[in-house]
Amino acid sequence: MRNIGPFFLLTVACLPVLAAGIGDPFDTDAMAPLKPSPQLSARVGAAPCATAIPATALTALDAVDLALCNHPQTREVWASARVQAALLGVAKAGWLPNLDGSASATRFQYDDAPFNRRTAALTLSWLLVDFGQRSANVENAQQLLNAAAATQDATVQSLFLAALQTYYSAQATQAAVISASEAERSARESYQAADARYNVGVATPADRLQAQTALSQATLNRIRAEGEARNALGALANALGFPAQQTIVLAAMPAMPAELAFQKEIDALIAEAQVRRPDLKAAEAQFKAAEASVDLARAQGRPTVSLAAGPSWQNSAGVVTQGGSIGLTLNVPLFSGFDTTYRVRSAAAQADVRAAQRDRIKNQIALDVWRAYQSLTTATQSLKTAADLVASAEQSERVALGRYKAGVGTVLDLLVAQSALASARLQRIQAQLDWNVYRATLAQSMGALDYTLLQPVAEGRP
């Protein structure tokens, strides 16, 4: 033992003070992903998370913002990412020295000569060489943080899609109410025409009864549509984190673009998805973390070299002594009961599991993109055909009503035309809903679902 000097004592004594003044020396807060919020829209000056339904009509953008801000799952994945960021800080802390202080006071009694002994010491310990343990541990923690961030992105996109589906469904049910009301109005006009013709003796009672039956059926359809619309609004309120009875006023459905061309090579879409999909990024990061765990398990069976140094002080029966020590320790694991062997095997098998999971997700991505692409293609074609169907059905209904009022058509022809028009309108509403949903689904299957999807649709862009 030798005196290592007051400078060393001052240095090690200042380390706790310096550490206490640094809350996040490794800047792990900056490594964690941003909290899911309106800031994801990349809009300048985005407001904080909303806690109430806006006073204006609720748009799809508002619905997504509310869902991401209020859904517990967004808070869960964000907290999980922050946990992993802190664990990365724990792994990096292994590169820094440890400083420990100790003190003791003891009273001895020997015959009639009691005396006191007081001791104090500071010990600085530093792992200098570990042949890869700390590097592998940091790499493992970094990859797990990458996986947590990618998992948060995937979760946000899933919630984004669910919010859009619920919102578009609510819009569709309200459009169905309007369509049912139009069908009821047409049926009432037909009944009034049949009743007028019956009163002047140019129509049979059967015509009047058929028109009245059609009016009752149209009224019933309108009542059912209104009930479904109220249920859809309740489901939307619940998805946004509010009670089902919350009053919500939806914005009008945006006009569909004249051209809906979006054709793109499916192979290119799949290749792009395999680059952008956050769940595949998470699986790849999990695989790399597992590989780092294999390196860590191997390194734990290797030697280590540590430094230990520090001053000491002792007062025993009035005799004060001061000193210090410094030394290197080489630790060589010779036999650990095959612990290292089986740890390496376990870690290697876990890496194989992660590799298989990554490959499974990669294959699933191709299927997801293929299905979403085909569904959007079908919805685009259906939307165009539904528009033509409504136009022809409206013209057919007008002709049939004019012929019936003129006395050259039958009430059956009129009712058939009105039924076809009501059906065409509902098919157009369903086609619009399908197109909006499958468009968002394709974006989500490619890992590209974000707020840019909710911007006005330009011609030639889905």
Structure confidence at residue 390 (pLDDT): 95
Both tokens of 53, joined, read 């339904």
Structure confidence at residue 451 (pLDDT): 79
Range 6-19+55-99+109-454: architecture per CATH: Up-down Bundle (1.20)
Structure confidence at residue 23 (pLDDT): 74
How far apart (Å, rounded) are the C-alpha atoms in residues 353 and 90? Answer: 26
Structure confidence at residue 2 (pLDDT): 42
Which residue type, as a one-letter code, is found at position 380? T
Closest CA to 213 of 412, 48, 388, 435: 412
CB 269 within 8 A of CB 376: no
Structure confidence at residue 167 (pLDDT): 95
Structure confidence at residue 318 (pLDDT): 80
Both tokens of 266, joined, read 């499916």
Q: Mean pLDDT by 10-residue block, N- to C-terminus, for the chain (462 residues)? A: 44 50 79 70 55 87 87 90 94 93 87 83 93 94 95 92 94 94 94 90 88 95 96 94 91 72 75 92 96 94 93 87 91 90 95 96 94 92 92 94 89 92 94 92 90 61 44
Structure confidence at residue 258 (pLDDT): 59
Both tokens of 317, joined, read 């029966």
Structure confidence at residue 378 (pLDDT): 92
Neighbours of 76 (CB within 10 A): 12
The DSSP element (H or E) to which 111 belongs, if any, is none
Closest CA to 156 of 241, 30, 33: 33
Domains of the chain, by residue range, sit at: 6-19+55-99+109-454
pTM over 0.85: no
Structure confidence at residue 128 (pLDDT): 93
Structure confidence at residue 109 (pLDDT): 76
Structure confidence at residue 10 (pLDDT): 45
How far apart (Å, rounded) are the C-alpha atoms in residues 253 and 428? Answer: 13
